[in-house]
Amino acid sequence: MAAAKKEPFIRLAKRDVMPVGKKIAVRLISLAIALIVCGLLIFSITGINPLEVYSTMIKGAFGTKTRVWATVKEMMMLACIAIGLAPAFKMRFWNIGAEGQVLIGGIVTAGCMIYLKPLPPVLLFAIMFVGSAIAGALWGLLPAIFKAKYNTNETLFTLMMNYVAIQLTSFFVAKWENPFGSNTVGIINQNGQEGWFPAVFGSRYFISVVLVLLLAVLMFVYLKYTKHGYEISVVGESENTARYAGISVGWVVIRTMLVSGALCGLAGFMAVAGASHTISTSTAGGRGFTAIIVAWLAKFDSATMLLISLLLAFLQSGAGEIASKCKLNSYASEMITGIILFFILGSEFFINFRVIMRGKKEKEEN
Amino acid sequence: MEGFISLFQAAVFFGTVIMFGCVGEIITEKAGNLNLGVPGIMYLGGISSLVAVFLYEGSTQNPSPVICVILALAASFIGAALGGLIYAFLTISLRANQNVTGLALSIFGSGVANFFGGSLNTLAGRFEQIAVPVTSAAFRSNISVLADLGVVGKLFFSYGFMVYLAIILALVVNYFLHHTAAGLDLRTVGENPQAADAAGINVTLNKYLAICIGAGICGFGGAYYVMDYIKGTWANDGSIEKLGWLAVALVIFATWKAKNAIWGAYLFGVLYWMYLYIPGLTRASQEIFKMLPYVVTIIVLVVTSLTNSREKQPPAALGQAYFREDR
Q: Which of B40, B107, B119 sits opposite A290 (nearest CB)?
A: B107
Contact B325 A13 (CB under 8 A): yes
Contact A161 B298 (CB under 8 A): yes
Mean pLDDT of A279-290: 85
Contact residues on chain B for A328, CB-CB shorter than 8 A: 115, 118-119, 122-123
Helix A332-352 to helix A302-325 angle, to the nearest 10 degrees? 150
Q: What is the pLDDT at residue A6? A: 61
pLDDT at position A2 over 60: no
A243-277 pLDDT, tens digit per residue, is 888 888 899 999 999 999 999 999 999 999 888 88
The interface predicted TM-score (ipTM) is 0.88
The average confidence (pLDDT) of chain B is 87
Contact residues on chain B for A346, CB-CB shorter than 8 A: 89-90, 94, 96
DSSP state of B288: H
Alpha-carbon distance A57 to B152, whole Å?
58
Q: Which of B107, B110, B291 sits opposite A164 (nearest CB)?
A: B291
Question: For testing the chain B interface, which of A103, A145, A163, A182 should be mutated: the one with the most B CBs within 10 Å?
Answer: A163
Residue of chain A whose Cα is closest to the Cα of B115: A331
Residue of chain B whose Cα is closest to the Cα of A285: B238
pLDDT band for position A64 (cuts 50, 70, 90): confident
Q: Which of B266, B220, B213 is nearest to B244 (CA)?
A: B220
Calculate the alpha carbon distances from A251 to A231, A295, B4, B42, B302 in Å.
11, 23, 48, 39, 19
Mean pLDDT of A183-201: 79
Q: Which of B207, B168, B170 is nearest to B185 (CA)?
A: B207
Calculate the alpha carbon distances from B86 to A285, A336, B40, B117, B212 in Å.
25, 15, 12, 21, 9
Q: Which of A10, A18, A23 is nearest to A366 (CA)?
A: A18
The amino acid at B179: H
Alpha-carbon distance B148 to A80, whole Å?
58
pLDDT band for position A366 (cuts 50, 70, 90): very low
pLDDT band for position B327 (cuts 50, 70, 90): low
Mean pLDDT of A83-106: 92
B226 against A193, higher pLDDT = B226
Q: What is the pLDDT at residue B129? A: 65
Alpha-carbon distance A140 to A261, whole Å?
5
**Residue A353 parent element (H or E):** strand A353-357
Residue of chain A whose Cα is closest to the Cα of B98: A345
CB A194 within 8 A of CB A62: no
pLDDT at position A88 over 90: yes
CB A187 within 8 A of CB A292: no
pLDDT at position A84 over 80: yes
Alpha-carbon distance B247 to B173, whole Å?
16
Q: Peptide bond preceding A118: is omega within 30 degrees of 0, i.e. cis?
A: no
Contact residues on chain B for A171, CB-CB shorter than 8 A: 284-285, 287-288
Q: Which of B96, B245, B305 sits opposite A153 (nearest CB)?
A: B305
Question: For testing the chain A interface, which of B43, B305, B309, B324 should be mutated: the one with the most A CBs within 10 Å?
Answer: B305
| Domain ranges within chain B, ordered by starting residue | 2-312
Mean pLDDT of B122-141: 72
**Residue A76 dihedral angles phi and psi, to the nearest 5°:** -70, -40
Low-confidence winner among A211-215, B230-234, B260-264 (lowest mean pLDDT): B230-234
Contact B100 A292 (CB under 8 A): yes
B196-246 pLDDT, tens digit per residue, is 999 999 999 999 999 999 999 999 999 999 888 888 778 777 788 888 988
Bridge partners for A13 per DSSP: A354
**Residue A14 parent element (H or E):** strand A10-14
Alpha-carbon distance A188 to B202, whole Å?
59
B24-50 pLDDT, tens digit per residue, is 999 999 999 999 999 999 999 999 999
The architecture (CATH level 2) of B2-312 comes to: Orthogonal Bundle (1.10)
Q: Which residues of A174-193 are buried (b: 16+ CB within 10 A; e: fewer)?
A: bebbeeeeeeebeebeeeee
Residue of chain B whose Cα is closest to the Cα of A332: B115
Alpha-carbon distance A61 to A64, whole Å?
8
